[in-house]
Amino acid sequence: MIYSDKVISHFKKPHNQGVLKNASTVGEVGNPSCGDVMKIYLKIENNIIKDVKFETLGCAAAIAVSSVLTDMVKGKSIDDALKITRKQIVDDLGGLPEPKIHCSMLGIEALHEAIKKYEKK
């Protein structure tokens, strides 16, 4: 499988990886077919995502997607973060091999899960 230089870069040196203490909310999703699991931590103040971290157990694509997604949402309003699409993530990474496109959905699903939990509070 061939990955873009940007995917490799985010896989080798992921941005925003780790646990966010005092997170406002946490979203966790998994894909039973591939075994990938993604957890995203959000620190939200006045409906703005002030900080974000992730933990991902998965392939290079899943880790790269997590890294890019956290870069994309940091500093955005909740509404703007919810508008981020799978296509935007894949495009930002310079593409993903077709069998790995589902990894980009895990990022979106974890983000939406975290925001849904936050809004229920």
Query: Residue 54 sits in which domain range?
Result: 5-120
pLDDT in tens, 5-30: 999 999 999 999 999 999 999 999 99
Q: What is the pLDDT of residue 99?
A: 86
Helices (H) and strands (E) in the chain, counts: 5, 3
CATH number at residue 50: 3.90.1010.10
What residues are labeled active site?
A: 34, 103
CB neighbours of 6 closer than 8 A, spacing ≥ 6?
Answer: 64, 68, 92, 93, 94
Q: What is the pLDDT of residue 72?
A: 97
65 vs 108: CA distance, rounded Å: 9
33: pLDDT strictly greater than 80: no
Mean pLDDT of 64-87: 96
Give the chain's domain count: 1
Average pLDDT, the chain: 94
Question: Whose CA is closest to 60, among 11, 1, 9?
Answer: 11
Task: Give Cα 7 distance to the centre of its chain.
Answer: 13
Number of residues written out for the chain: 121
Most confidently modeled of 38-47, 90-99, 103-112?
38-47
